[in-house]
Structure 1
């Protein structure tokens, strides 16, 4: 694993963790909390995939 991939993985893990911790402070409980957490995790994951360096991509 290259240093760049490791930094990217650590960065997006930290961003996702912080977003999920932030969601815990919201006024939601039950299914609303589950939905909020799911949406945040999916959104951060998609942003991470979109911005991660891809092999063979133009620079």
Structure 2
């Protein structure tokens, strides 16, 4: 299971993580350990920021 960020309150913005996920998918990294780690980080960021209309779902 991928590690979760140590402090979800200090997570990077979900939009930034989402762009990294999209770039990784475009490069063929879907299903990689990095992809899974980014998904966990993205979810923590969304929770920390609250679900807002300006956050698009991860790729």
For the aligned pair, the TM-score class normalised by the smaller chain equals: 0.3 to 0.5
Larger RCO (alpha carbons 8 Å, 6+ apart): 2
More helix by share: 1
Larger radius of gyration: 1
Question: Normalised by the size of structure 1, how large is the TM-score?
Answer: 0.37
TM-score, normalised via structure 2 length = 0.37
